[in-house]
Structure formats: structure tokens, C-alpha cells
């Protein structure tokens, strides 16, 4: 995948971004024809299979969107490229600009960054959360929802973990809404990296950026685990357990934390429990549970090791499950 910026010039002041308007960094803006030509050279050399194209806001949101869409248009019409193109939608893009991007892209995304307006105001004074972030995300959802002409276009977004004062519970609640109400295909999470934004300048006091880097990466990892439980296990928002501070445990994964807090549910009986109950057992995932159900239909002479459960996973399962 070729991932690149069309421009690192930006009029916005996002405090987590190294390319914010007040940053003293060299600026570069590429012409749409340049990006298309270089990308097609990589495609012909079989070095890449797709394009991920983003940009700083060089001018107005719609002017930037026009240049991004022009790249996709050149690739689709002039070069007859039918492969993967992911376009980042610029915050503040108009409905017409969003529609133009959706018409040409395989996937589109606009990073929501934080779960609510009050946190967003800590990060930027030049963007409005509802107008510039939420409204375009909703516009994408309307254009790509089930039964629409662009239902095959994927929509994703990303949270920036630890740049604002949000807790994990806020991010999980927002993630659940994005999946259930707006039909997003994926939500991603990225730990804030100190040294990238204005929060690290002398005298700045800036939210959770003071957290140790390892803690932030652990938070990111835990959020991905919850995301998987929501998408693949059918978990509900209320199934996720948080500490008194509203954050997920850094010591224990979300599934095992639920098991520890619900001792009456266990032990689960491997030879008779329903699929939903088996999926609650720490150490058992959808693939292994499928193997258990298949083995049960044919024989009572099997064990977990024969189904690929070994080592630490096996020890974990044995704490919460029994054969009969």
C-alpha cells in the first residue's frame, strides 16, 4: 500500500499534529498528476496493491478535497486503474465533496479522534466537532449504507488515544454508536505519541499526554481487544468492564476481566454449553469454539490440546471451564 500526503501544509491548529499551522516544518504540496504518475509506476512494478491518500488542509477543506478527488479521477479514468483507493475525507468537507470522494474510492475515512465535543475543544480551536467531523461522517454513512449505490465502499475512522482527557469508557461508547447507528466497517485506535504535538512544549499542560508511552500503547491494545469483542463476539456495550477511573485494566484483557467479575457464570461445561457461553471462556475464540462444536457432534473422545489449545491459553481455559 502506498500511503502518502498530498500536502503537509495545514491551516488547522490540532495540538497533537506535527504539521499544525504554527509548526515550523518544511512544507510540500504535490500536484495530483505527480501522485497519480508515481503511484502507477509502483503499480506497474508490482510494488504496491493500492493507494491510501490523505492531506493537510491546504486552503479550504473543499479545495483540498478537490485535489484528492482529482488524483482518484486521474487513476480511474485516465489510467483505467480499478484497484484499491482509500481517500481521507477532510474535516469540514461539504456533502458534495464527500459524495465525489465516495463515487471514486474503494474506502473513505475521516478520523473522529475523540469521543465528544468537550474533549475535541481541548485539541483544536479551528475545527468544530459537530460541523467538521460528525456531519461528514454521517454524510458518508448515508451514501454508503445498505441498499445505496455505494454500499460496497467501506467507511472507517480512528480515535487518538491519550491526547485528550477522554477515558476508555467514552471511546468504547462512541465506538459502539459508530458501529450500530452509522454502520462503520472498522474503528481504529492510535496511541498519542509524545513529541508529536504542542502539548510537549515548555509550560504546556495538556491532558493525558503525561501518561507513560507504554501505558498509552497498552490502552490502545485493550481498545482493539474490546473492538474485536464487539465485532466478532457480539458483545454489548454493557458487557465491557471498566475501572473506577473509566479505563480498561492494563493488567488483564477485557474478556478475562468480565470472567473475574462474574464468577457465578463459571465453570462453563465444554461438552454441553451453548456457543455464546463457550465464547465467554477466556482463552477460547470463535475458531476454537467452532472446533469444539464440530467435535461434539461426532465424538466425546477429544480434548482441547487436540483442537489446538495449548500453553497459556490452555491454562486460562482450565480456570474457567470443565469437561462436563
Residue 164: C-alpha distances to residues 126, 130, 160, 245 (Å): 16, 17, 8, 15
Q: Is the pLDDT of residue 197 over 80?
A: no
Rounded average pLDDT over 104-114 = 97
DSSP string, 245-298: TS---SSS-HHHHHHHH-GGG--EETTT--HHHHTTSTT--HHHHHHHHHHHHH
Q: Is the pLDDT of residue 291 over 50?
A: yes
User: Which pLDDT score, from 0 to 100, does residue 113 have?
Assistant: 96
Rounded average pLDDT over 305-314 = 93
Q: Is the pLDDT of residue 208 over 80?
A: no
User: Which pLDDT score, from 0 to 100, does residue 166 have?
Assistant: 94
Residue 161 bridge partners (DSSP): 191
Rounded to whole angstroms, how far apart are CA atoms 299 and 72? Answer: 55
Q: Is the pLDDT of residue 17 over 90?
A: yes
Rounded to whole angstroms, how far apart are CA atoms 41 and 3? Answer: 14
Structure letter (DSSP) for residue 7: B
**Domains of the chain by residue range:** 2-254, 264-322
Could you tell me the pLDDT band of residue 301, with boundaries at 50, 70 and 90? Answer: confident
If DSSP codes are grouped into helix, strand and coil, which group holds residue 107? Answer: strand
If DSSP codes are grouped into helix, strand and coil, which group holds residue 115? Answer: coil
Rounded average pLDDT over 152-160 = 98
pTM, two decimal places: 0.92
SS3 content of the chain, % helix, strand, coil (to 5): 45, 10, 45
Supply the CATH classification number for the domain 2-254: 3.20.20.70
Q: What percent of the chain clears pLDDT 90, i.e. is strictly above it?
A: 90
Residue that is written with C-alpha cell 506535527 in the block: 18
Could you tell me the pLDDT band of residue 193, with boundaries at 50, 70 and 90? Answer: confident
E strands, the chain, in order: 2-5, 50-54, 84-88, 107-109, 154-161, 186-191, 268-269, 321-322
Amino acid at each position: 500500500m502506498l500511503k502518502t500526503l498530498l500536502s503537509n501544509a495545514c491551516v488547522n491548529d490540532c495540538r497533537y499534529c506535527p504539521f499544525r499551522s504554527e509548526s515550523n516544518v518544511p512544507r510540500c504540496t504535490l500536484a495530483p498528476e505527480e501522485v497519480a504518475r508515481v503511484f502507477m509506476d509502483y503499480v506497474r512494478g508490482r510494488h504496491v496493491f493500492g493507494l491510501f491518500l490523505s492531506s493537510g488542509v491546504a486552503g479550504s477543506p473543499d479545495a483540498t478535497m478537490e485535489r484528492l478527488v482529482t488524483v482518484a479521477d486521474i487513476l480511474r479514468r485516465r489510467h483505467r486503474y480499478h484497484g484499491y483507493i482509500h481517500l481521507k475525507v477532510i474535516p469540514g468537507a461539504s456533502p458534495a465533496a464527500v459524495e465525489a470522494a465516495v463515487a471514486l474510492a474503494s474506502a473513505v475515512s475521516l478520523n473522529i479522534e475523540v469521543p465528544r465535543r468537550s474533549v475535541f475543544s481541548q485539541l483544536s480551536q479551528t475545527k468544530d466537532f459537530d460541523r467538521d467531523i460528525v456531519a461528514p461522517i454521517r454524510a458518508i454513512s448515508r451514501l454508503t449504507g445498505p441498499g445505496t449505490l455505494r454500499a460496497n465502499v467501506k467507511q472507517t475512522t480512528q480515535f487518538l488515544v491519550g491526547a485528550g482527557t477522554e477515558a476508555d469508557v467514552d471511546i468504547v461508547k462512541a465506538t459502539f454508536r459508530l458501529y450500530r447507528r452509522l454502520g462503520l466497517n472498522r474503528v481504529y485506535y492510535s496511541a498519542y505519541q509524545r513529541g508529536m504535538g504542542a502539548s510537549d512544549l515548555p509550560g504546556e499542560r495538556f491532558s493525558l499526554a503525561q501518561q507513560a508511552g507504554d501505558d498509552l500503547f497498552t490502552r490502545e491494545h485493550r481498545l482493539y481487544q474490546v473492538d474485536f469483542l464487539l465485532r466478532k463476539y457480539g458483545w454489548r456495550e454493557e458487557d465491557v468492564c471498566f475501572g473506577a477511573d473509566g479505563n480498561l485494566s492494563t493488567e488483564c484483557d477485557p474478556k478475562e476481566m468480565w470472567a473475574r467479575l462474574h464468577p457465578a457464570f463459571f465453570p462453563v461445561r465444554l461438552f454441553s454449553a451453548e456457543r455464546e457461553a463457550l465464547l465467554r471462556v477466556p482463552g477460547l475464540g470463535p475458531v476454537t469454539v467452532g472446533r469444539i462444536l464440530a467435535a461434539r457432534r461426532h465424538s466425546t473422545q477429544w480434548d482441547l490440546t487436540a483442537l489446538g489449545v495449548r500453553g497459556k491459553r490452555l491454562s486460562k481455559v482450565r480456570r474457567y471451564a470443565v469437561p462436563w
